[in-house]
Structure 1
């Protein structure tokens, strides 16, 4: 699956995690990957179990019930250079600078998740994603993992 430049939003700023998830989901909707109901399933998933993964990364995706709203596999990337706290508890700082929205048809998302995990296990790569000045920079970083 190839990441498209129009599915990446850089230099975003949000008041709360739901707004970040909504944008990640809307990008998937606009690309024809999911129906709008999938965005609600992404928020439901994050409310049930945080999609914060550590290393300043969140990977929101839909609930099992939300799978019916997936038309095709897709990934969106939302860069938040100033970060946002992915925790309801104000004393816990789960700061996120990059949100990967995932929709996977027939478990295709598992490959995407493994590539993201590999890339983001190195905090220097996360810093590069957070500092990227263009969608193309992010695409290049993600392609380097595939090689």
Structure 2
């Protein structure tokens, strides 16, 4: 991700969770939100806004990726920009599609759209082999370096 590279704190290795057991999409969204709260990126109210976003417009992006983030109103609960990465090797059902990676996003100010775009573009640039490795790896550094190159 090029835009977020200017802020190395946006993703830290301890914000990457790998090999998680399958669950339902709402539990998975809440898990990403809880870690954003723990990192000090958002207040707890942000999590409810993430759920509302999924109910209004699916956060599933294709290519095994879902991007839990808030509604416009939920941006009031963002304290600082940050992302968290959750990997579910068995997949999470999003209306018949499987997400293996959920990247919870909190973007303060103008960061919000830039982060969403950069994450989506990073995934679009991945070949099938890289995506498969991302869905199944137990290597935090692989995930970190893919999302935060350089």
Same fold (TM over 0.5): yes
The reply to whether residue 140 of structure 1 matches residue 149 of structure 2 is no
Say yes or no: does 1:15 pair with 2:26: no
Whole-angstrom distance in 1 between the partners of 2:57 and 2:45 = 19
The 1-side partners of 2:117 and 2:84 are apart by: 15
Gaps of 5+ in 2: 1-6
Matched residue, 2:4? none
Which of 80, 84, 88 is residue 80 of structure 1 equivalent to? 88
For these two proteins, the number of residue pairs brought into alignment is 140
Task: Show the counterpart of 2:44.
Answer: 36
Find runs of 4+ consecutive structure 1 residues off by over 2 angstroms.
122-126
Aligned match for 1:108, one of 100, 107, 111: 111
What corresponds to 1:47 in structure 2?
55
The C-alpha deviation readout for 1:53-75, integer Å capped at 9, x for no partner, is 01110001011111111000110
Query: Are 1:127 and 2:132 an aligned pair?
Result: yes
Q: 1:94–1:70: structure 2 CA closer, same or farther, 3 Å change rule?
A: same
Tell me how far apart the structure 2 counterparts of residues 63 and 103 of structure 1 sit (CA, whole Å).
Answer: 11
TM-score by length of 2: 0.87
Aligned partners of 2:13 and 2:112: how far apart in 1?
19
Distance 1:13 1:107 in 2: 34
Counterpart of 1:105 in 2: which secondary structure? coil
Cα displacement string for residues 12-63 of structure 1 (whole angstroms, at most 9, x for unaligned residues): 1232100110111111000000000001100110011110001110001011
In structure 1, the gaps of 5 or more residues are: 88-92
Once the 2 structures are TM-superposed, how far is the Cα of residue 123 of structure 1 from its aligned partner? 4.4
Q: How much is the aligned-residue C-alpha RMSD, in angstroms?
A: 1.4
Instruction: Return the alpha-carbon distance in structure 1 between the equivalents of residues 43 and 93 of structure 2.
Output: 27
